[in-house]
Every structure is written in structure tokens, then in C-alpha cells.
Structure 1
Amino acid sequence: MIQRTMVTVSNSLRHAKITPQRSDARGHWDYGWLKTYHSFRVSDWHKPDYVPFGSLRVLNEDLVKANSGFPTHPHREFEIFSYILSGELTHRDSMLTKGAEGAHSDRFYRMRRGDVQFTTGGTGIAHSEMNEHPTDPVHFLQIWVLPWKSGLTPRYHTKHFDEEAKRRGFVPILSPLKAREEATAAEEAEAEPAIPGTIPIHADFVMGAGLIAPQGQFVWKVGADATRSSERKVYVHLPQTQNGMAKIRLAGRDDILLEEGDGAFVDNVKAGDGLAVESVGSAEAEVVILDTA
């Protein structure tokens, strides 16, 4: 399902408060095998302005060298997902380990551009995320969201999202579990999302992504007709994919221009508002939308 542009748009979305977060204001570490940028508080990096935003807790932009990565480590409670920008990322976890794949194909583990991997940490899961390619790095976004309740059963999903669809408009990637907080065990196992074709998440949260050609414009419908709360927050991120040639303007405001690596906090918006995103650079802009209560 593609997020079409048939919504009412105020060119400036005047009631919204839009606060850019510049790339050089992010936390940044270079460990040799890993170059990482943190948009929100992580570990010992903390900036008062960049605290949790709605249910959004973590947005890391990571570049991992070949034959390296994150060895097996535990997670609990959080909804954790990775959006692959380039290269390949291999996921294994305590529910399904190397050598015990059974009928699952290699692609169940090895994610490439356009793939999203999603884990419900719930009561506890251990997983690894490794770049097993012999020469090429992997570039991906790692995002964490706080679920609407604790003690969930750990689950894992992978899904590929079409590149050409993202060039026609914003494509929803994640949407709330259709049965919401009241889901039965059977409904949890069925894992039906509010928006068909997306990955279900245990939160009042929607993720979308689009590839906007220079001078093109997409519109994100806040809430995507899939959320309960009318009061919304939206975080917009422009990953570093075009060697600095991509740039976007938000809501028609000339003072809200984002370059690669930048993000923006969009507050005081309501479900149904149209957030216009215009590509004003010289290269296609890959835009990620994180829409939360």
C-alpha cells in the first residue's frame, strides 16, 4: 500500500512546530569496525534536547565493515527494527539459530537494500546482527520503539519493500497490530497489521519511506489512517546515501531545509494533517518518516 498524496495540505503547516536536528549535533563514534550516529540518547551519550520522542527511543545510523558486526546480545521489551540502506546484514536469534534453519531460505537471515527486519524483544530474546560479506560494508538504520505493554511474546519478521513503489509515494513500512493492546494469543500469532502489507508493531506508531526525485514532492498523511491518537509527533530523517547531494524542504518552509544526516522533530500535528516533503537537492532523497503518539 502506497501513501498517496491525496490529503489536504497547508503549504506551511503553520500550526506545527518543526525543529531541525543537524547531523553534526548527533552523537557519533568511530570504532573502526563501526561508524555510528545517534539521534537520541544512547548509552553514555545524552543531550537534553534529544530525549525520547513519543514512543520513539532510538534512531541510529550505522555503517559496519565487512566481516564484523554485533555479536549475540540480549534484548527485552523494546520493538527493534533495522532498515537496510546498502550492503547486507545477517540476523540470527535465540528462536532460530545457524544450523537450525530448516526450510527457511538464506534470505530469511541475509537482509539487503529494501529489506526491513523487525524483532519484538518482549520477555527476552538474544540476537546477532553481522555483516558477513567478505568486502562490502553495510549501511542501515536501527530504530527502537517502546511497546504499549510489557511482557510480550518475542517475535521476528522480515519483509522487502519495493524500490519503485517508494518512487511513487511514501510507502508504509510498519503499522500497529490491528488487534491492538487487547489482542488474544491467536491474534498475536496471526500478526495482522492495521495497514495491509506492513509489518505489525506493538505501538501507536507508523513508519513510512519514500524515494523523492529532485524537484519532486510527496505528502505524508499524519497517522496514515492507522492510529488511535489524534495528537501526533513525526520525526523525519534523511539518511546519508547520496554523498551530500540530497536535500529536502519540509512543509514548504524555506527555513526548514534538511541535508543528509539531518532530521527534524515535527510537533503539534494531528492525524490527517498533510506533511509535505520536497526534494530540493541534485540527487534522489531517501526519506524516512517515524509517526508516533
Structure 2
Amino acid sequence: MSKALAHAKIVPRWSNERGHADHGWLNTYHTFSFASYYDPRFQNFGSLRVLNEDRVSGDNGFPTHPHRDAEIFSYILSGELTHRDSMIKRGSEAKQGDDFYRMKRGDVQFTTGGTGIAHSEQNESDEPVHFLQIWALPWGKGLTPRYHTKTFDEYLKRAAFLPILSPLKAGPGASPAEEKAAEPTLKDTIPIHADLIMAAGIIGVDKRFKWTVGADAVRQTQDRHVYIHVPMTKNGSAKIRIDGREDAVLGEGDGAFISNVNAGDVLSVESVGEAEAEVVVLDSD
């Protein structure tokens, strides 16, 4: 199969070369420099700043800690993760919306750190939780802290790449009223204060999904930065091929930096392993 996007530069980020730490209660892999892992080559990619793949054992988690001036989101792969801040009490009824806190597979929890927030993330079940924690650099500092949580349908992820986050429609100059309305550029997504789109798909064996760079939702249309990640969900049986390239075949835990692409370019992602492949796309300025 020939390259559909000959101008695109695709550089794999192999799983075994990521930062890694096993603390017993937390087994974590870092695509970018984070905490005690530092590599000057991997600081950010466009506005994408952090991509951690974490497993937290039962009855463990991250105690209350602060964040500011970062867009932070968790994508739950399996198990449960409980988010709590000063407004959410233990035992409160879980519900969809800004106050929803007990997350399961299919849920995405989003935080605008802005001027400063503090929260905890705990696994209050007996089973491990497996999730991606992702940070993006916002288009401005001093934003008003905000939470969003939304569930995304597995069936839709099996049909095509499903957009999950898209830029706040009002953009960097949003008024307080527009911030409160929190309307995303793409319907049924979570709004983010960055020129970034996140999407996820579950690609059946020998099936192919296509991702249109920018998804008709971004301000910067030239020189986009697309990162594709394959979470470790199928015990090593999942594998994908990007743009038909044999040097861009990724296994579980692997990712790829894709540059020299513009809005409207179409990236092909084919499942070539023995099990369906869950794939996350992070398309930023």
C-alpha cells in the first residue's frame, strides 16, 4: 500500500522507550517529560504536554493536589476512578455533568486548572483502574477553573473516530457568559481552551479508519501536530499501521508524532493485529 500522505513526517514513539516507573500502587508510563522522568527531546508536541498511561491498584490513588494553567483530562480504559474536589462529598450520588465524579470505561473527565484548583483522583474499588491522563497547554493563563465529564458511546467508537474534545467555540476572547455556556466547536464534545481535538476509535481487525486533520474545527490550519497513541488494552494483540507505511506500524503502548500535515489532510489508520485496536488521536496546533 502506497503512502497517501507522502509529505507527512511520521516518527514512532516506542512504548519501551517511554519514561516508566512502578511504585507498586501506580504503574505509569510517560510519553513526555513528567515528574521524575526528564528527556529534553520530549517536552511537548504542539499544545500536547503530557500523555501518561497509568494503572492504579485498588484502594489507592492520587491524594488532593493542585493544578493551574493546564487543560487536564482523563480517558478511562478499564476500572473506576473517583474524582473529588471540595464541592463533592464522599458517597454523593454520581451523575452526568460538571459534578459527575465516579468514572468508568467510556468516561472522560476534563479540568481547566486556570487560576488554580485542587482535587484528588482515587481508585475506591478493589480492581485496578487503567486510564490515560493527558495535559494540554491552554491558549491563555488565568482562566476560570472548570470541570466537565461526559460518557462516549463504545458503539460510535467502533464506527469511526469519535471526537471527544474540541476547541471552545468562542475562542481565546470568550466572554464570561461564553465561558459559562461552554459551547464546543464540535457538537457533543467537551470544550477545551486550546486549538486541539481529541478523538478515539476502536478499529476492528483488518478495518481502516480515517482521520481528517483539523476536523473542520481548528484555527491553525497549517503545520498541525497529530499524535496517535495505542493504549495497552489487548495484552499485546492489537497493532495498527499509519498511512500504509511499514515503518509506522505501532503496537500497544506505542505512539507516533505526525508533522508536516495541514487541516484537510486524511490520515489512514489500519488495524493489522490479532485483536481490535483502541486508538487515541490528539490533533493540535
TM-score range, shorter chain: over 0.9
Alignment equivalent of 2:20, drawn from 14, 28, 31:
28
How far the C-alpha of 1:48 sits from its partner, in A, is: 2.9
Size of the alignment, in residue pairs?
280
* TM-score, structure 1 as length reference: 0.93
User: Does residue 241 of structure 1 match 2:233?
Assistant: yes
- The equivalent of 2:154 in structure 1 is 163
Contact 2:94 2:102 in 1 (8 A): no
1:229 matched to 2:216: no
Q: Secondary structure at the match of 2:44?
A: coil
Unmatched 5+ stretches in structure 1: 1-9
Which residue does the alignment assign to 1:91?
83
What stretches of structure 1 move > 2 A for 4+ residues in a row? Answer: 104-107
Name the SS of the counterpart of 1:255 in structure 2. helix
Aligned ranges 1:257-268 → 2 under 5 Å: 257-268=249-260
**What's the CA shift for 1:106?**
5.3
Question: Between the two proteins, what is the percent identity of the paired residues?
Answer: 64
| Structure 2 unmatched runs, 5+ | none
Structure 1 distance, partners of 2:34, 2:208, is 33
The answer to whether residue 136 in structure 2 is matched with residue 145 in structure 1 is yes
Following TM superposition, by how much is the alpha carbon of 1:44 offset from its aligned partner in structure 2, in angstroms? Answer: 2.8
Find out whether 1:203 has 2:194 as its counterpart.
yes
In structure 1, what is the Cα distance between the partners aligned to 2:280 and 2:154? 13
Q: 2:165 aligns with which of 174, 189, 200?
A: 174
Q: What is the rounded CA distance, in whole Å, between the counterparts of 2:250 and 2:94 in structure 1? A: 39
- AA matched with 2:272: V
Report matched runs for 1:92-131 at 5 Å.
92-94=84-86, 96-98=87-89, 105=94, 108-131=100-123
Provide the secondary structure at the position in 1 that maps to 2:61.
strand
- Measured against aligned partners, the alpha-carbon deviations of 1:235-269 in whole angstroms (never above 9, x if no partner) come to 00000000000000001111110000000000100
Whether 2:177 is the aligned partner of 1:186: answer yes
Further displaced range: 200-209 or 12-21 = 12-21
Aligned residue identity for 2:76? I
Output the aligned Cα RMSD.
1.2
SS in 2 for 1:249: strand
Q: Alpha-carbon deviation of 1:47?
A: 1.9
Q: TM-score under structure 2 normalisation? A: 0.96
Shift of 1:175: 0.1
The letter of the residue matching 1:105 is A
Answer whether contact 1:240 1:261 (CA < 8 A) is retained: yes
Cα displacement (A) at 1:97:
2.5
Of the candidates 254, 257, 274, which is equivalent to residue 246 of structure 2? Answer: 254
The code of the aligned residue for 1:166 comes to K
1:51 is displaced (CA, Å) by 2.0
Determine the structure 2 residue equivalent to 1:65. 57
CA distance in 2, matches of 1:223, 1:72: 35
